[in-house]
């Protein structure tokens, strides 16, 4: 690894048969796990993690299929389901000595965090989701030409082979497009961190595609089952996002409140990579959440 979170220790932790997660751990105190998004690694939390480590044990893994974590073959849809990936995180925290913890996720990591909150309500004490709506709602709000902002999720929903070939043949251009298009402040992702994101993503194309493909299949089925059963997030939930509702024509707060009765909803203007472009603001929101 060429870039690390300073003053954090690194280890590989076995979370399932043949699956090890690369994880950075720092600080002391009550635990919080931070899950990264696409097309990034745990490094996206480097500023927020350092701040939170002053009074919390901060755990920053690379998700299965990303960064320097294991990339099992997607020979079954469940391999990259958010349920499986959430179970990884609960096992990881347990292996590190924490049977209850707060959880924050951004983008893909927020989908994993959302599933962890539904599946493990006695484990997750507080939940923060950055710049998403839940899977079912994502597909519902992407309509017409405005859906072009998320063309990649339609591409990676296609059957195996074509998306993997197309993305592998232009990996830096593909992943770099999102780093450029979704950021409010180009300086927020310096050259060494950008290079690390591109390196990690180019080495993980099949597993990244499998993660997104699951969100067009098994993840929908599992979320729909929870919706039909009336299951909701039982812990305090904080949502921090851009005003996607204004752009795509829906009430983001109402979407989230249907899943999270104890909701604190915040709109920000820091762009998608808000933990890097406005880390002090995100840290403050997380401190506020942890105090609830």
Structure-block tokens of residue 77 = 């849809």
- Establish whether 192 is a catalytic residue: no
Among candidate residues 107, 131, 211, 223, the one labeled active-site is 107
106 has catalytic annotation: no
CA distance 101 to 85: 16
User: Kind and range of the H or E element at 31?
Assistant: strand 30-35
Structure tokens at 74: 């997607």
Half-sphere exposure of 209 toward its Cβ, with a 13 Å CA cutoff?
24
Q: Which strand (E) or helix (H) includes residue 15?
A: strand 9-16
Q: Which of 69, 66, 101, 105 is nearest to 209 (CA)?
A: 66
Q: With contact defined as beta carbons under 8 Å apart, do 208 and 107 qualify?
A: no
Residue with tokens 């401190």: 287
Cβ-contact 282, 253 below 8 angstroms: no
Q: How far apart, in whole angstroms, are the C-alpha atoms of residue 265 and residue 261?
A: 11
Residues with a known catalytic role: 107, 272
């Amino acid at each position: 690894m060429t870039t690390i979170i300073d003053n954090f220790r690194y280890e590989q932790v076995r979370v399932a048969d043949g699956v090890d997660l690369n994880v950075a751990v720092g600080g002391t105190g009550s635990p919080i796990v931070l899950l990264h998004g696409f097309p990034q690694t745990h490094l996206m939390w480097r500023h927020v993690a350092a701040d939170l480590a002053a009074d919390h044990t901060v755990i920053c893994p690379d998700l299965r299929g990303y960064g320097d974590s294991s990339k099992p073959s997607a020979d079954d849809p469940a391999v990259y389901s958010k349920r499986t990936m959430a179970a990884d995180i609960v096992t990881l925290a347990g292996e590190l000595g924490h049977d209850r913890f707060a959880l924050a996720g951004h983008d893909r990591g927020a989908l994993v965090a959302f599933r962890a909150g539904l599946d493990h309500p006695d484990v997750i004490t507080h939940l923060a989701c950055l710049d998403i709506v839940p899977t079912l709602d994502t597909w519902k709000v992407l309509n017409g030409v405005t859906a072009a902002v998320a063309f990649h999720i339609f591409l990676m929903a296609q059957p195996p082979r074509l998306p993997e070939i197309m993305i592998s043949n232009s990996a830096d251009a593909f992943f770099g497009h999102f780093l450029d298009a979704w950021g409010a402040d180009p300086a927020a992702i310096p050259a060494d961190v950008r290079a690390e994101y591109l390196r990690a993503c180019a080495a993980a194309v099949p597993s990244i595609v499998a993660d997104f493909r699951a969100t067009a299949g098994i993840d929908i089925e599992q979320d729909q089952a929870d919706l039909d059963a009336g299951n909701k997030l039982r812990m305090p939930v904080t949502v921090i996002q851009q005003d996607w509702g204004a752009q795509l024509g829906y009430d983001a707060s109402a979407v989230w409140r249907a899943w999270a009765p104890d909701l604190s909803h915040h709109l920000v203007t820091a762009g998608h990579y808000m933990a890097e472009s406005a880390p002090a603001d995100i840290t403050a929101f997380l401190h506020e959440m942890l105090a609830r």
